Chain A
Amino acid sequence: MTEQQPDPKKILFLNRRAPYGSSLPREALDAVLMASAFGQEITLVFLEDGVFQLKKQQDPSNIEMKNFSKTFGALALYGVESVYVEQRSMEKRGLTLDQLLIPAKIIQSSELGALLEEQDQVLSF
């Protein structure tokens, strides 16, 4: 089917959940990959327990889950490089940037409003 694609939109994906308590984080990542396949301008924000999604060395095999975090490593290949983690969420959970799977920028919660304002759409997970 040939369908004329509209101009790329700036789409921000807001990720707030720990990676394995719910399937929503995995489903969110599927949506991110689909949006990148559509050539959209993508930004990812991780806050609250969502910051755990990016933690290195995940191994959910004991709870019979697939380690979908490996896919984050492929995001750069799909042109998804705008990745933010919220500062207080990281600090409260004792996480530092060097413990994350992919390069991310720290963002203050006070700066989030401006980042959201820049977007055409926000998809919240």
Chain B
Amino acid sequence: MIFSLAIYGAPFSSQSSDTAYQFACALLEQGHSLHRVFFYHDGVYNGSTLATPPQDERNIPASWSQLAEQHGLDLVICVAAGLRRGMLDATESDRWEKPSHNLEQGFTLSGLGQLIEATMVSDRMITFGN
């Protein structure tokens, strides 16, 4: 079965992204495919490479990044929701003349159309709220 996930919760604040991450691992283990993970609303913070939790705690952005590398996942942060909240890649950082960028490896900024496209082509779109 083809799944896509929509995540609205910020990491370390809401259980949302932890649950989504565990769900993603479980569905991949069971041989399903994950078409896209779309980060929207406060979920965009899941892509911050600057997240620095204590060393004995899970690092959610890094976990997503590793999972994406292992399975070739498409991790998309909504560009409009992301820019508002200070999630920038190098291109956007240059465009808006900001001093830095903070997108974790494996994440991309793209439009809301990616959420709808994922909804259209997946058998199941699962929302993880905040």
Question: Which residue numbers of A lie inside 8 Å of B, CB to CB?
Answer: 5-6, 9, 11, 23-24, 27, 30-31, 34-35, 37-38, 40, 121-125
Contact = CB atoms under 8 A, between A and B. Distances in A.
B8 A34 contact: no
Given A24-B8, A124-B129, A31 B120 contact: no
Contact of B112 (A6, A31, A40, A122): A31
B115 A34 contact: yes
B41 interface: yes
Nearest to B117: A38
B116 A38 contact: yes
B63 interface: no
Contacts, number: 51
A interface majority secondary structure: mixed
12 contacts: A9-B120, A11-B116, A27-B40, A27-B81, A30-B80, A34-B112, A37-B113, A38-B116, A40-B120, A123-B119, A125-B127, A125-B129
B6 interface: yes
A123 B80 contact: no
Interface residues of B, number: 21
Contact of B113 (A6, A34, A121, A123): A34
Contacts of A123: 6, 115, 119, 125, 127
Contacts of A37: 113
Given A24-B41, A40-B120, A123-B125, 18 more contacts: A11-B116, A27-B40, A27-B81, A31-B40, A31-B115, A34-B113, A34-B116, A38-B116, A38-B117, A121-B122, A121-B125, A123-B115, A123-B119, A123-B127, A124-B127, A124-B129, A125-B8, A125-B129
Interface of B: 6, 8, 40-41, 80-81, 111-113, 115-117, 119-122, 124-125, 127, 129-130
Contacts of B115: 31, 34, 123
A11 B6 CA distance: 14
Given A23-B41, A24-B41, A124-B129, A31 B80 contact: no
Nearest to A27: B41
Most chain A CB atoms below 10 A, which of B115, B119, B124, B129? B119
Given A30-B80, A34-B113, A123-B6, A9 B119 contact: yes
Nearest to B80: A30
